[in-house]
Amino acid sequence: MNNSLKYSLTSTKKENIIPIEFINYDNFYNFFENQNTLTKQWITNFDFIADEHSYCIIYNKDGIEKKILIGIGNKIIKNINLFSLGFSKNYLKNNFIYKFINIDSSKIIKILTLNWMLDGYYFDKYQNNINISINPKLFIPSNIKNYVYNISSSISLTRDLINTPANEMMPQHIFKVIYDISKKYNAQCSQIVGDELDNNNFSTINIVGKASINQPRLIELLWGNQSNPLITLVGKGVCFDSGGLNIKSTNKIRYMKKDMGGAAHVIGLANMIMSTKLPIRLRLLVPAVENSISNNSYRPGDIIKTRAGINIEVDNTDAEGRIILSEVLYDACNEKPELVVDFATLTGAARYALGSELPAFYSNNDKIADSLQNISKLNDDPIWKMPLYEEYKPLIKSDIAHIVNSYTLNSIPMGGSITAALFLEYFIHNNVNWVHFDITGWNFHTKPSRPKGGEAQGIRVVYDYLKSTYT
């Protein structure tokens, strides 16, 4: 994959390191009064008063950069968040080395270092004629360097996968990505392709994906010691979603390259787990398809028989994600893992309810859900717990099969994210703990450390949960 992280880290001491100092409202005026005349002049020139995401470059009398001041508004240093550096491309220079100077907490240094790496993300794979030469370095202790690099490169991988256009990110390309990762970490990787899916009782994947010339497949990765607790990750890999015969409108189809965002998330999360050697046994499952249109497309009204013995009536071919996830989740539970986590760009309803920046999540275990919600607040990776409201189950009951894959009332979708989660819950068995994330996987505009385009949502939360639970 493309290396889209343009900033880097160093633990080698060199001369002329430029300090970065964080200033809030409370200490600004005392700080200002204690500076020399030249420094005061630069602060005045930049109109710097410590507003959040503001900055000031202090030069010496020879015009050489001496220090960077970063405003954090009304925050205090110990509560600095992941986005405190602001738009760092405005003030960092190529090949300069920087260092945080008024931070003594290892935890805060980790947060800011991750902030640094994510703010240096730039997806330039298709802009070879544009010279993106900025490569500032941050000096940090070596024990933090490796950890942050593993986390940031995993997030970058997720972003890159989503940003890559569909003509270069079809099911076979996703397999290549997972295969390459498996070799890197000495994991096992396999796939079931095309009509072999029917022979292996994964017909839902083939039914949804067979209309495309890019053959559908189920991709599996296995890693870790057999004696460690089994954690299974499942990701929706719809590489492009036309909507099938219920074809999407022009404005909705534009960004459907991101409909494999669930797969991108679990691939990035798996990379985090393996690169930091968490003591778990990992199983990664990605059903990868293109939801296309052809003479053999599946149709509204079709009945799909699943390996779970649950028959699905197709109400809408644009609700394909839950269909391809159904049998995979059922199979995931067969091994009785300690936890199954799935990520999917599943419904527009979750976006209508919570917006694009706050992913909905569901769980059949309140204790796990509460832990995830608490971790989310601590590490600036927002998620929001939603209810598996049992009273809505009759809404997805089929008249002629067991369940229907989409629900509308008088042509108006109602509770669509909840009913989609309840649909998936039908395939969770063996009393397995399960968490489902209904994500956007996309930033529609640029914010600090969150550039427009593909985004990783919730995977740091799950990683920290696994790390705290199993280490």
Q: Is 403 exposed, middle or buried (0-12, 13-18, 19+ CB in 10 A)?
A: buried
CA atoms within 13 A on the CB side of 176: 8
Element (H, E) at 283: strand 281-291
Bridge pairing between strands 281-291 and 237-241 = parallel
Residues in the chain: 471
Report d(CA 239, CA 249) in Å as an integer: 18
Q: Are 283 and 375 in contact (CB under 8 A)?
A: no
Angle, alpha carbons 462-172-117 (nearest 5°): 40
Report d(CA 215, CA 175) in Å as an integer: 11
Neighbours of 468 (CB within 10 A): 10
The sheet with strand 18-23 has its strands ordered as 8-10, 137-139, 97-100, 18-23, 65-71, 55-59
Report d(CA 308, CA 126) in Å as an integer: 43
Q: Are 193 and 206 in contact (CB under 8 A)?
A: no
Report d(CA 14, CA 448) in Å as an integer: 28
Q: What contacts 273, CB < 8 A, 6 or more positions away?
A: 223, 231, 280, 282, 463, 466
Q: Are 460 and 379 in contact (CB under 8 A)?
A: yes
Return the CA Rg of the chain: 24
Bridge pairing between strands 8-10 and 55-59 = unpaired
Active site residues: 248, 322
Q: Are 457 and 354 in contact (CB under 8 A)?
A: no
Q: What contacts 277, CB < 8 A, 6 or more positions away?
A: none
Residue in the block written with tokens 């799950």: 462
